[in-house]
Structure formats: C-alpha cells, structure tokens
Structure 1
Amino acid sequence: MSAFFQPTLLAVFAHPDDEAFSVGGTLTHYARRGVRVVLACATRGEAGKITVPGMTVDDLGQQRERELRAACRALEIPEPIFLDFHDSGRFERTRYDDPLALMNISPLDVEPKLRALIADVQPQVMITFDPHGGYGHVDHLQIHRAATAAFFSTGNLPGGGPQRLYYTALPYTAAEGLARMGQDLDPQVYGVSEGTIAVRMNVAAYAQNKKAALLAHGTQTGEQSLLGRMTPEERAAMEARLLGTETFSIGGTRTAIAHYPLRGLFDGVPGCEGLDE
C-alpha cells in the first residue's frame, strides 16, 4: 500500500448496537491495521425497548446516541455518522404514524444520503445487513435495500466507487443455537450454508473490545434482553460465538475474486494488498 493511501471501510446499519453484535471485532481489527473505519447509523434507536427493570430515560434517542459513541470508543473507531431517520420500533412500539420512521420511507429515498456519504468518504469496502436483516427487523431490511442500491449506483464515481459489498451472514448452526435459546428465528430462513460464507473473521483478539461495546449499549443489554434472559451456559455459548468469529457473504464486487473463501474483506481489492495477509 502507498504511504499516501488509506483504505476505507464503510459500515451501514440501522440502530445503535447493530454494529457491536454483528461486526464489532472486524471494525476493531481493521482500525488497528490502519484502515479508516466509517460507521453510518440510520437512526438513534428512538423506539428501542429499555431492558433494564425500573430504568427511565427522558430521551431514548439521545441516550442511545451516547451509548453508540461509547461503543465506538470501545471498538477504537471514530465517532459514528447519523443519517437522521427514525427507528420504526417493533411490536407495541411500532411507529406507524412517524413520517421519518424507516418503515415509512422508500429505500430509494434513503439511497441518496448513502450515495453522498460514499462520494465523500470513498470506501473500498462496504458492509451492511444480509437480505433477511439479521432477524427480519423492518429497519434492517430497509437499510439492506438502500445500502445495496447505493453500492450498485456508485460505480461511476471517481475511483470506481466501492469495490466490494459484504453482508453480515449468520451460519446455519449459529441460527439453530439461537432458536434453541428462544429466539423467534427459523434457521432454514435466517441461517446460511457454509458455502455462502465468503469471509470468516477470527476476532478473538478483540473480544474485550467487543464485549465492552456490547455493554456500552446498556439500555439494550439489561436483564430483560435476550442476553440478560440466558442461563449462564447459554450466555457462555453465545459469547463464544459472538466474541470469537464474525462471518460475511458477498453482496457485490467490482473486482475479480481470485480464490474462495477470501482471507478478509480487503482480499484482492486493488491498492489494499497486505491488509489480509
């Protein structure tokens, strides 16, 4: 790599805490290798569920914004960029009447903000949700669609636009484990085969960073959260998977793939030689 060139990774997610669960270790890994990591968060999680019994928050969006900034510090990455849409919520918290809730906005109206961000930061690699949005959350699905569209519509930018688009990928065996723990998640739908996994990142070296980032999202990881309701054995199994390995599939590429699976997200990306050796 040239001494004057800094590779850039753009991660696009919907809510504060999405980054910690899915890609936190990967973000820290590349930040330590000199990559500029840009995290774009579509909302401030205004309609999230507070999972700490008895906890009251005057402005949940502001609280979750602070939590995300703390999580970014734990992951050793820069401050997040907010796209200023609103959290759609789920179940009884669904915001049907909020015009800024992502569920009420066409992905084609989210895409221009991402196109502008891509033109500004010029990433070589993008990461976003898989086509099922991890577990089907409508905001995750909206961001998946908008980010995918932005990848495909920015190939004519100077420099050729992002060279690779990756999706977070949940291995079938991990999806089975989540289902056994009570997550309402059909492994046949949300889990992927081993052949679908293009990149398997060993992030065990960053386990403490990732754990600190998860805990920074205190309103979402309390006693009433999925993690909080687990038995010690289930929690240990979950942490072993979450903190040890992160997996990705390929959503799009503008550069040849010389071998499969890949050694990392920048493997074979022009100008980024050496990052994944």
Structure 2
Amino acid sequence: MPAALLAVFAHPDDEALRCGGTLARAAAQGVHVTLACLTRGEAGRNTDPSLGDVELPAAREQELRDACVHLGIQPPRFLDSHDSGRGERLRTADPLACINADPVAVEDRILEVIAQVRPQVMVTFDPHGIYGHPDHLVAHRAATGAFARSAAVGRPVERLYYVAQLHEDMRALQGERPLGVLQGLDPDVYAVDPGLIAAQVDVRDYAAHKLRALRAHRTQTGPLSTLGRLSDTQLAPLLRRETFSLGGTRTPLPHHPLTDLFDGVTQGLPA
C-alpha cells in the first residue's frame, strides 16, 4: 500500500494554521494526503466585506478546495454535518449540528474514508480542541474512536497524532494582536507541556504553501478577522515548525520526539 495520511478536522481553515506545513510536506514526499472535514463552516462569519454577500457554506467549501490545492493534497471530503457555532451562537436547535450528531455515526463516516484511503497515519485535534470549540471536540472524539476501530475496516491505522500548541506559541497568539478565539483561555489548560510533544516537524520549506492555504480562507482571514491580522512575529514560529502529541500507536516509536509523522511506521515514506 502507498503511504497515506488522513487529517480529520471540523471546519474549513482548521487544517491550515496548525498543520498545513506538515500536510504539504507529506504530499511533497509522495504521501497520499486526504482531508476529511466534518462541516462547511455554516456558523462562521464573512470577515472580508470586499466579497459582498456570500453564501457562506458554498464559499467556505470552495475556500477549502483552494487551500488543498495550495497544500498539494487531495480534494477535501466533506462529512456533511453542520457547524454548531459556539458561545452565544451555539446552534442547539439544528439537528445536523455536530453537537447533536450520534458520535458513533460520525465515527462510521470517518471509517468509510479510512476504508477507502487506507492511511497509516491520522491527524486530528487535541483533547481540548485547541480552544474548546464544541465541533473540535466532536472531531477529536470521533477521529480517536475511528482510529481505535480501524482494524474492523481492513488494515488498521498505525499512528494517531493530535495537533498541539506549545505554551509559548499560545501566549504569542494571545499577545500583540490577539487571536480572538484564544482570548481569556489558560495556556495550562489549552496548550501542551513540551514533554508531551511526540513529533516536531520542520516546515520551513513549506511556509509559503501554508500561508497561501491560510489566505485562501478569505471569509475567515479578512480585515475584520483576528486571524487575518496576526503579525509576522506571531506567525513566525508556526511557519518554522509544527508540533504534535501522540493519540495512539500500533508501532513502536524509534525515537522521541519524532521529526516526521511517518518515522517508524511499517509502510514508511516513499523512497
């Protein structure tokens, strides 16, 4: 089987900031990289007034397709749940919202993708969902469950990684031009101790791919967004390296921390 990686996230743009460089790097190495996205970001906001009136789900779907092109990965697979929103905009009345979904049913949809692409490696959110978004927590739980059950649909997935933010990175994003979703959150809860970093991937050669993918999400990185106003200083660490904790493994780790998500997997990287 060819080397394959499956990333599971909740909304268009979740893939770019935390692991876009790693996805681009893997694709450039010959890995078949697939992104499964639970929703089309229906509860988001258009932060770029120059776009005019947009049908947000369709716009965000296209933005994610464009971002995948910039990263050099396969077109995204949408799992057709709805964005739940968060805080005062939580869509509790939407029966298709992630928060109202049967968790095992979401796992089943991820397992269908696993059966088709047969990844050795999976990537998803950490247990706190970076900043606690309820859909991020659904994605984390469902992807972890699908990883555990993957032997039932053929070759079991060998590794599961969680995107993980270091305390220093989270504090940098909370300072200067604060990233709104992180304001008021405790790094001791939402960040990861350096000792838990199982993989640190050098993405400097793919920084341009990552930035293009991030900026493809125009509705989310417009002038009214805090994401679009991050300074070069705040972005710099995230353009040098991306960090991951270990969600599970069926193969031993050859060293710690790893420098590539495929270090020590049975399939390995293409020659």
| Residue of structure 2 equivalent to 1:44 | 40
Counting only pairs closer than 5 Å after superposition, residues 45-64 of structure 1 correspond to structure 2 as: 45-53=41-49, 55-64=51-60
Residue 242 (structure 2) pairs with residue 227 (structure 1): no
- Runs of 5+ in structure 1 lacking a partner? none
Instruction: Choose 99-108 or 66-75, whichever is displaced more.
Output: 99-108
Relative distance call for 1:164 and 1:204 in structure 2 (3 A) is: same
2:102 paired residue among 103, 106, 113: 106
| Residue of structure 2 equivalent to 1:146 | 142
1:133 aligned partner, one-letter code? G
Residue 193 (structure 1) shift: 1.1
1:173 paired residue among 168, 172, 177: 168
TM-score (norm 1): 0.91
Runs of 4+ in 1 over 4 A off after TM superposition: none
Residue 163 (structure 1) shift: 0.1
Q: CA contact under 8 A between 1:57 and 1:63: conserved in structure 2? A: no
Residue 273 (structure 1) shift: 5.4
TM-score (norm 2): 0.93
* C-alpha distance in structure 1 between counterparts of 2:229 and 2:4, whole Å: 37
Residue 91 (structure 1) shift: 3.3
Secondary structure (helix, strand or coil) at the match of 1:219 reads: coil
* C-alpha distance in structure 2 between counterparts of 1:52 and 1:263, whole Å: 37
Residue 78 (structure 2) pairs with residue 82 (structure 1): yes
Q: CA contact under 8 A between 2:125 and 2:137: conserved in structure 1? A: yes
Residue 56 (structure 1) shift: 3.7
Residue 270 (structure 2) pairs with residue 271 (structure 1): no
Residue 143 (structure 1) shift: 0.5
* C-alpha distance in structure 2 between counterparts of 1:245 and 1:80, whole Å: 24
Residue 7 (structure 2) pairs with residue 11 (structure 1): yes
Aligned length: 266
Residue 53 (structure 1) shift: 3.8
Relative distance call for 1:273 and 1:223 in structure 2 (3 A) is: closer
Secondary structure (helix, strand or coil) at the match of 2:227 reads: helix
Residue 274 (structure 1) shift: 6.6
1:174 aligned partner, one-letter code? D
* C-alpha distance in structure 2 between counterparts of 1:177 and 1:264, whole Å: 25
Secondary structure (helix, strand or coil) at the match of 1:154 reads: helix
1:218 aligned partner, one-letter code? R
Q: CA contact under 8 A between 2:30 and 2:269: conserved in structure 1? A: no
* C-alpha distance in structure 1 between counterparts of 2:56 and 2:232, whole Å: 29
Instruction: Choose 91-100 or 116-125, whichever is displaced more.
Output: 91-100
Counting only pairs closer than 5 Å after superposition, residues 181-260 of structure 1 correspond to structure 2 as: 181=176, 182=178, 183-184=182-183, 185-230=185-230, 235-260=231-256
- Runs of 5+ in structure 2 lacking a partner? none
Residue 216 (structure 1) shift: 0.4
Q: CA contact under 8 A between 2:2 and 2:31: conserved in structure 1? A: yes
Secondary structure (helix, strand or coil) at the match of 1:218 reads: coil
Identity between Structure 1 and Structure 2 (%): 52
Q: CA contact under 8 A between 1:15 and 1:41: conserved in structure 2? A: yes
Q: CA contact under 8 A between 1:42 and 1:86: conserved in structure 2? A: yes
Secondary structure (helix, strand or coil) at the match of 1:165 reads: strand
Q: CA contact under 8 A between 1:126 and 1:162: conserved in structure 2? A: yes
Residue 242 (structure 1) shift: 2.1
Deviations 1:131-175 (A, max 9, x none): 00011100000010000001001134433x100000000011112
